[in-house]
Structure 1
């Protein structure tokens, strides 16, 4: 049952990534067809992010009531409906309308799935699962590029991805009975050190949720929220604006830029796959620290005013490689840093902080670039790198493993 459920979760992570690159890769054409300024892309992502913030904060409550399997299936179904709606949108306000159910579905499934994996599976699976998210996010720019270059239009790309999400929804509905087996069945396990902050067992279904004010008072929670917000602001900005940067600053054609914009996601995907092999040996803290440093190197490569485009394109890959381990490491360390009983509540709040960063950063960069020019993208990324690195190092000093520790089992 473990292997079957894990395979389903891997497919679900592919599904999570499929829609995430569509707006960024298609926007150079979409904004022209819809007759809106280029900076309006930030409005779409802001609406989606607000929906994810709301559903992330409510994720512990709904997951404890209905279970992870049900929440995952219903949430993916909502995103499928929203993507099909995107494909039928002929005006900008229609995109805004369909962005609401997309955001609500994305936030709930993100928090529920990440907590489930953090509690029940080894660190390597957390990285590999997020690598599979990258597989989905890497596929969709090529789907968008093909739809645009073949003359079918950006709406065809949304329709195809929406139908794929609908098929996954049916598979997830059929898998609902499997989700409770991991907690109850006996299986091989590994031992992990964890803080003695709460009861060792995960929160059972039906238990009252942890109040928001209680979770926020746990030492280090505020710092991890700021760190996660800075990282996700960086990731969402690179994901949304890299194609437009290539068109404006490197002279790439829109269809080619949609494909080149996938270089960031390809680096992200490859980096998470590789990180899975070393995650348990290096540890979450080293992965986060090294990731931010590598992103800084990639931003520098992206900014170099060279006559060749090769270094800049390679810089997008390096930014993706550096970004790779940060998100999985932050999530995976949550039960260890703050207690398994508190993990669903804190991961839900982390998702809200992440999408707050995603909400504010893309439109802020859109407004900034309209004033200064798109050349400022590498500098914008560098500032977020410094913020994330400083905050994460401060967190490491605040959240220290105490002398008194105990162990819990995590399914491999």
Structure 2
């Protein structure tokens, strides 16, 4: 039987998106059966005064769960699935190279395959969200991600492996761009760090699983049953959790502009031309280091094939811990000086890793490098999204992440081609050079503009 409960709550860290409209009542309404009828997330949280809000959600016993927490939970689940696949290729790269007997230059095509799928999804995401809604895009993402995983699970010929990676990149790209746009509506760097922490959790798990499979003598393709099963579960959850979600452009009070008009408005924003190269550099550092670290540890540092995977997990553990730490409400990283210091610290850690040959120290330094790099991507996304209006965030995030994929793909790809000629020993100086360039770019970030 339906009942209505009324109470007053304090504002939490999750600030409602800007497109929410004021409403005079000073109470909170929620239904124990789910979302309020005829309301979406975009209009369910109504600001009243600095200390009280109208919030939609549902009650389980004495626990009331707001819609915004449901949306954040669904977003974290999706990006966790993306993280599972992100490090799998780097951890599996030596096994795939050995299985197909390919040189570095050819096996590096796996990075180009993922880029192709990601790029397509970034181009189409904004249009598809407007056409079929956020839930429709997420269900489609789950479908392509599952099909790609299923292809790889059977260890097909290498050309089919490329097709599978394209499909996984397509699904992962829709997850990444769509859900990042959703979370950016909270306008909180802390929340963005929480969101990307789940990407780190997924990335952390893959090397452990692959390392255990390698140690047991199990073929590399068996791992891909994990992302396949996960994608099925995430798709079912998204079908339920995003049932009533509406993006700002779907709200009747959003700006009514065509794609060309919004794109033209976006290109006149200074932050776009700073955010794009920052994202390219950040993605290039993370993907080059994450995808080639296992091979570097085996061939240059002399680590075992299974131990190198666990050391890669230390990198992702550090990256995840960094994002969790900097998501704490009492921790604040300034947009220029703070991010510059973190990237400079990353350069120092990689410099020690390069020059000092000590197995115990390698474990610590790899984790420290990940810790310093962790807040980089969520910090850049927050910097960009805070400087654009809510109605443009979906398109802006798609473009920025899509351009960032240039670095995510060309970084490992070009490095693989060069490493095939001069060796993997150049990995640390390449990462240091990219990190120092990124540190300089942060000082070009324009100040925030005040807006209602």
TM-score interval for Structure 1 and Structure 2 normalised by the shorter chain? 0.7 to 0.9
Any unmatched runs of 5+ in structure 2?
A: 1-66
Residue 447 of structure 2: aligned partner:
400
Question: Compared with structure 1, are the counterparts of its residues 205 and 110 closer, same or farther at alpha carbon in structure 2 (3 Å cutoff)?
Answer: farther
Match of 2:424 among 374, 377, 380: 374
Greater length-normalized contact order (CA 8 Å, ≥ 6 residues apart): 1
User: Is the contact made by 1:279 and 1:287 (CA closer than 8 Å) also made in structure 2?
Assistant: no
Displacement of 1:312: 2.6
Aligned to 1:118: 184
Using the TM superposition, give the Cα deviation of residue 50 of structure 1 relative to its aligned residue in structure 2, in angstroms.
2.2
> SS of the counterpart of 2:296?
helix
Distance 1:280 1:119, change over 3 A: farther
Which one of the candidate residues 2, 5, 9 is aligned to 2:75?
Answer: 9
1:155-205 residue CA offsets vs partner (Å, 9 max, x unmatched): 11112222122221122122231423x97xxxxxxxxxxxxxxx9x99949
Which residue pairs with 1:316 in the alignment?
Answer: 366
**SS of corresponding position for 1:252:** coil
Deviation at residue 41 of structure 1 after TM alignment: 3.7
Residues 30 and 205 of structure 1: CA distance in aligned 2, closer, same or farther (over 3 Å): farther
Work out the CA distance in 2 between the residues paired with 1:142 and 1:203: 47
Gaps of 5+ in 1: 184-198, 408-412
Separation in 1, partners of 2:285, 2:335: 19
1:77 match? 143
C-alpha distance in structure 1 between counterparts of 2:255 and 2:451, whole Å: 24
Name which one, 1 or 2, has greater alpha-carbon Rg: 2
Q: Please identify runs of 4+ aligned residues in structure 1 that moved more than 4 A.
A: 201-207
| Distance in 2 separating the partners of 1:202 and 1:28 | 52
Cα RMSD, aligned residues only: 2.3
2:87 is paired with a residue of what secondary structure? helix
The answer to whether residue 405 in structure 2 is matched with residue 358 in structure 1 is no
Distance 1:202 1:268 in 2: 40
Bigger fraction of residues in helix: 1
Aligned residue runs from structure 1 range 2-81, under 5 A: 2-81=68-147
Say if 2:343 and 2:438, in contact at 8 Å, map to a contact too. Answer: yes
Matched, 1:130 2:181: no
Alignment-derived partner of residue 340 in structure 1: 390
Offset at 1:44? Answer: 0.8
Shift of 1:279: 7.5
Q: Please say if residues 187 and 386 of structure 2, whose CA atoms lie closer than 8 Å, have aligned partners that are also in contact.
A: no
Deviation larger for 10-19 or 22-31: 10-19
SS in 1 for 2:332: helix
Number of residue pairs aligned between Structure 1 and Structure 2: 384
- Specify the alignment match of 2:399 in structure 1: 349
CA distance in 1, matches of 2:253, 2:136: 17
Mapped pair 1:271 → 2:322: yes
Deviation at 1:28, TM superposition (A): 1.1
TM-score normalised by length of structure 2? 0.80
1:189: which partner in 2?
A: none
Distance 1:381 1:359, change over 3 A: same
Change in 2 beyond 3 A, CA 1:317/1:232: same
- Is the Cα contact below 8 Å between 1:298 and 1:317 reproduced in 2? no
| Structure 1 match to 2:354 | 303
Answer with 214-223 or 43-52: which moved more: 214-223
CA distance in 1: counterparts of 2:75 and 2:169, whole angstroms: 20
Map of 2:36 onto structure 1: none
SS at match of 1:337: coil
Q: Residues 74 and 207 from structure 1, CA distance in 2 versus in 1: closer, same or farther, beyond 3 angstroms?
A: farther
Inter-partner Cα distance in structure 2 for 1:65 and 1:279: 40
How far does residue 354 in structure 1 lie from its aligned partner after superposition?
Answer: 0.9
User: CA shift at 1:211, angstroms?
Assistant: 4.6
- Structural mapping, 1:214-225, within 5 Å: 214-225=265-276
Q: Deviations over 1:283-340 (max 9, x none)?
A: 444443232112111211210142x222233222122111111111111222322332
Deviates more, 1:136-145 or 1:208-217: 208-217
> How many angstroms apart in 2 are the aligned matches of 1:380 and 1:335?
29
Matches within 5 A, 1:222-261: 222-261=273-312
- Report the Cα distance in structure 2 between the residues aligned to 1:5 and 1:211, rounded to whole angstroms: 26
Higher mean displacement: 109-118 or 265-274: 109-118
Q: 1:125 to 1:255 in 2, by over 3 A?
A: same
Match in the other structure for 2:24: none
Deviation at 1:95, TM superposition (A): 0.9
Structure 1 range deviating more: 88-97 or 350-359: 88-97
Q: Aligned equivalents of 1:339 and 1:288: distance in 2?
A: 23
